[in-house]
Amino acid sequence: MKIILIGLTAAIISAVSFAMNHGHNMDHGDQQIQFKRIESNGITLSNFQARASVGSTKNSGIYGEIRSMEADRLISISSSLAAVAELHEHINDNGVMRMREVEDGLAINPGQPMSMKPGGFHIMLVRLHKRLIAGKFIDLTLEFESGKILDISVPIVPIKKMHH
């Protein structure tokens, strides 16, 4: 059984109104859009950001931090803008950094933030339907083992501005 979180609608509305507000300022250029912290039913998401497309690359990554009040596991990810979204990790394979899919999802322990960042755990977007443009948003659905589902809007940022 899936539990749709009550806080969700509010989270989406705040993300949308934020996007609209930002739209007024777009012409001024350099202002960085930021992901608002979302707290919902014991799960806190912060600093989520998607990497803007470079050239015609069809893949991209999403990073961010997840906290949970109780032990949980991020098991599934999807977005309407990508054919596939996978949970990845980087491994050192005899001196060569490689990415591979995390088989059983990402464990989130209480009081211990699960951090997804370049070079570590990340969400991999595979076969994007369109380019990710800096300043816009990408929708993302996160599904947890507990049955919790969060629909969020993630700001797209140019690679040079990403938080590490």
Residues that bind Cu ion (CB under 5 A): 88, 99, 124
CA nearest neighbour of 82 among 152, 140, 162:
140
Query: Nearest approach, Cβ of 148 to Cu ion (angstroms)?
Result: 24
CA distances from 120 to 28, 36, 50 (A): 33, 22, 15
Task: List the alpha helices (DSSP H) in the chain.
Answer: 8-25
In the complex with Cu ion, the residue whose CB is nearer, 1 or 97, is 97
- Residue 108 CA to residue 74 CA, distance in Å, equals 7
- Nearest 5°: phi and psi at 135? 100, -15
In the complex with Cu ion, the residue whose CB is nearer, 67 or 88, is 88
- Residue 120 CA to residue 91 CA, distance in Å, equals 8
Query: Nearest approach, Cβ of 87 to Cu ion (angstroms)?
Result: 9
- Residue 133 CA to residue 157 CA, distance in Å, equals 8
In the complex with Cu ion, the residue whose CB is nearer, 88 or 136, is 88
Query: Nearest approach, Cβ of 56 to Cu ion (angstroms)?
Result: 18
Query: Nearest approach, Cβ of 57 to Cu ion (angstroms)?
Result: 12
In the complex with Cu ion, the residue whose CB is nearer, 60 or 153, is 60
In the complex with Cu ion, the residue whose CB is nearer, 7 or 118, is 118
Radius of gyration of the chain (CA): 16
- Nearest 5°: phi and psi at 105? 85, 180
Query: Nearest approach, Cβ of 50 to Cu ion (angstroms)?
Result: 13
